[in-house]
Every structure is written in C-alpha cells, then in structure tokens.
Amino acid sequence: MQVNEYKPLIVAFCCNWCSYAGADLAGNNRLNYPADVKIIRVPCSCRVNPAFVLRAYQRGADGVLICGCHPGDCHYTTGNYYTRRRMALLFSMLSYLGIEKERTRVEWISAAEGAKFAATMNEFVKTVTDLGKNRRLEDLRCKK
C-alpha cells in the first residue's frame, strides 16, 4: 500500500431534487467513485452562496462542485439559472485569486443520471488529483 498517496478533499453541493437523487441512484446501482467526494445537501443549487465555496477553499478543500438540475428542469423553475450566473462571476473571482479554474465546477446532473454522477465524480477527482494540493486560499488566522 502506498503511504504518501495524495487524496484530494472535495466538497460537492448537490441540490435535493436532481443531483442528490442522482448521487443516491449511483449508490443504488453500486457505481463506484472515490471517497474523497463529500456531499452537502442543499434544497437547490441556487442556495449555494459563493461564500460557501470560498469558505471551503479557506478550510483546505482542493475542489468544489456545485451540482444542480439541468437548465430548464429546476424543481424551483429558475434556481439553476441563478446558479449559472452567480458561479460564472465566482469563477472569474477565483481565477483572480489564483485558484485554478479546473478546481471549481458546476455540473447539471438529473435524478436519473446515476451513471453520469459517478462518471463526473471520477473524472473530477482525477482532475483535482492531477492539479495537486490546493494551497492558495488558506485563512492564515485559522492556522495553528
């Protein structure tokens, strides 16, 4: 067993109606993806405040995913459109802060797309693993 194998820390915000259910479906179908992904349930992707993403990076996350219903299929009709717009702005801010743009991603995964959920997680974990540890946005006040 490798001792120093790098394991990224990934936070995934999943909307209750589509992506969280998609993640459950991936589980039902026993589709493997790395344990590095930890899911936080939110009612809608539009509940994800960009501040949560920044918070995750401050606390040492290596990648953040925001998953919602496909555009047009939002349970709350328009929530994911807000997400799309907000995250576009956040992305340019993250680039400004020097966080590689590949570390943050918005994905649309429906409740029926368990396979897509697993594939997306596998691919994202690989992308983030290849980028390596994220060191750019640690809140120094929190360092012991």
Partner 1 sequence: MQQRIGVFVCHCGTNIAATVDVSAVAAALGREPGVVFARDYQYMCSQAGQDMIKDAIKEYKLTGIVVCSCSPRMHEATFRKTAAAAGINPYMVEIANIREQCSWIHKDKDEGTEKAIILGRAAIAKVCLNVPLTAGEIPVTKRALVIGGGIAGIQTALDIADAGFEVDIVEKKPTIGGKMAQLDKTFPTLDCAACILTPKMVDAGQNEKIHIYSYSEVVSVGGFVGNFTVQIKKKARYVDETKCTGCGLCTEKCPVKNVPNEFNLGMDTRHAVYIPFAQAVPKVATIDPNYCLMLKNGKCGLCSKLCGAGAINYKQEDEIIENKYGAIVAATGYNPISMDKFDEFAYSQSKDVITSLEFERLMNAAGPTGGVLLRPSDNEHPKTIVFVQCVGSRCSADAGKGKEYCSKICCMYTAKHAMLTREKYPDTDVYVFYIDVRTPGKNFDEFYRRAAEQYGVHYIKGMVGKVSPEGKKLKVRGSDLIADKQLHIDADLVVLAAAIEPDKTARPLATMLTASMDTNDFFTEAHPKLRPVESPTAGVFLSGCCQGPKDIPETVAQAGAAASKVIGLLCHDKLTANPCVAHSDEWMCNGCSSCENVCPYHAITYVEKEFRMPDRTTKIRRVASVNPAVCQGCGACTVACPSGAMDLFGFSGKQISAEVDAICR
Handedness of CA 58, 102, 44, 50 (dihedral sign): positive
Return the SS3 of 6: coil
CA angle 67, 103, 71 (to 5 degrees): 25
CA proximity to 83, closest of 128, 118, 120, 42:
42
Candidate list 19, 42, 108, 125; residue touching partner 1; CB under 8 A = 42
- Longest CA span, the chain: 48
Q: Are strands 37-42 and 63-68 parallel, antiparallel or unpaired?
A: unpaired
61 interacts with partner 1 by CB under 8 A = yes
Of the ranges 22-30, 91-99, 101-109, 125-133, which one interacts with partner 1 (CB under 8 A)?
Answer: 22-30
131 interacts with partner 1 by CB under 8 A = no
Q: How far is the CB of 121 from partner 1 (least distance, A)?
A: 9
17 interacts with partner 1 by CB under 8 A = yes
84 interacts with partner 1 by CB under 8 A = no
75 interacts with partner 1 by CB under 8 A = yes
Of the ranges 19-27, 96-104, 124-132, which one interacts with partner 1 (CB under 8 A)?
Answer: 19-27
Residue 106 has φ and ψ, to the nearest 5°, of: -110, 130
Residue ranges in contact with partner 1 by CB under 8 A:
9, 11, 16-18, 20-21, 23-24, 26-28, 30-33, 35, 38-44, 46-52, 55-56, 59-61, 69, 72-79, 82, 86, 110-113, 118
